[in-house]
Structure 1
Amino acid sequence: MPSSRIHITDIEAAINHWRARFPSPDGFTLAPQTRALARVYALMVFGHEDEIDEADFPLEALAAWQGWYETTPDTPCIAICSTSQGDDQCKGCGRSFDEVQHWLAYTPAEKRSVWRRITLEHSAWRFNRYAERAAEGPSTVGQPAVAES
């Protein structure tokens, strides 16, 4: 089972998400979501921690983090699943057989933990051979090309 700890890089991404959505009007004032996450981030930096348990998140910060999380892709799947062919580790997305099987039961923090691992490993096809499938935005797989005039 993956960790239910949230990595500081996800907190940074969430802070940047909220800063972009609600920029400071005066250079000092922060949106409530940014402020809540910034408090957690500052305490982690002060304590030299790079992860925090999901259960230890203050409610306002957890809500802000989950608001950011909802804007991220849920699954690393690129529709090339080698675990269905008997592999212990999927060549397409990098998840283990158990992670693929239990994905829907994972919490957001557990899913992000898996995302972090496969991103750091950078060996799954989603990062090289089929990176275009994993690109954000609407899928163009199977759609005819449109000629520009």
Structure 2
Amino acid sequence: MERIYITDIEAAINHWRQRAPSGPGLALAREVCALAEVYAQMVFGRVSEIDAGALDGEAMFAWLAWYETTPDTPCIAICSTSQGDGFCKGCGRSFEEVQHWLSYSPVQKRAVWQRITADGTAWRFNRYAERALDAMQASSLE
């Protein structure tokens, strides 16, 4: 069963709020309304994830459109699974996830992103993230 996480629903809502801000009369964009309904049900039910099949067509369309704006892969081009590791030190994905990534659905990919982000031990979340931040700060001082 494919699951969508509340953090992704929140991110999708914020994406659509930026893309289609409320106009006069505070009318929300259709995409925000569709996702807000799902979000409200999740909050009311105190659940952090929901079956992807529970989203109606409009909410799924809005979620998928947001998904298209996210990075497709967590890969940082340092793959330790090619050296025999069960989990990549660079991105945090398992050997199987790396091998089958292209065949995964958007919901499956987001589930992997959720897991590796929560774990936070992959190099993409520490060493290289720190280097990227240092580089950005250094360039802003110039």
TM-score w.r.t. structure 2 length? 0.89
AA paired with 2:49? E
Letter in 2 for 1:121: D
Between Structure 1 and Structure 2, the one with more helix by share is 2
The alpha-carbon deviation at position 49 of structure 1 amounts to 1.5
Indicate the residue corresponding to 2:84 in structure 1.
86
- CA pair 67-95 structure 1, distance change in 2 beyond 3 A: same
Percentage of matched positions with identical amino acids:
67
Instruction: State the Cα deviation string for residues 57-78 of structure 1 (Å, max 9, x = none).
Output: 1010000000000000000000
- Per-residue displacement from partner, 1:11-58 (whole Å, max 9, x unpaired)? 000000000011001363100110100011111111112111111210
- Where structure 1 has 5 or more consecutive residues not aligned to the other structure, the ranges are 136-145
Residue type at the aligned position of 2:74: P
Q: Choose the corresponding residue for 1:130, options 124, 128, 131.
A: 128
Specify the code of the residue in structure 1 equivalent to 2:24: D
Query: In the alignment, what sits opposite 1:48?
Result: 46
Quick one: distance in 2 between partners of 1:81 and 1:27? 51
Report the AA paired with residue 46 of structure 1.
Answer: F
Counterpart in the other structure of 1:17: 15
> Match for residue 136 of structure 2?
none
**Aligned position for 2:98:** 100
Runs of 5+ consecutive residues of structure 2 not aligned to the other structure: 134-138
Say whether the 8 Å CA contact 1:81–1:91 is kept in structure 2. yes
Q: Which residue of 1 aligns with 2:37?
A: 39
TM norm structure 1: 0.85
Provide the alpha-carbon RMSD of the alignment.
Answer: 2.0
Q: 1:49 to 1:134 in 2, by over 3 A?
A: farther
Q: Mean alpha-carbon deviation: is it higher for 45-54 or for 118-127?
A: 45-54
Q: Is the 8 A contact 1:93 1:125 kept in 2?
A: yes
Paired residue total:
136
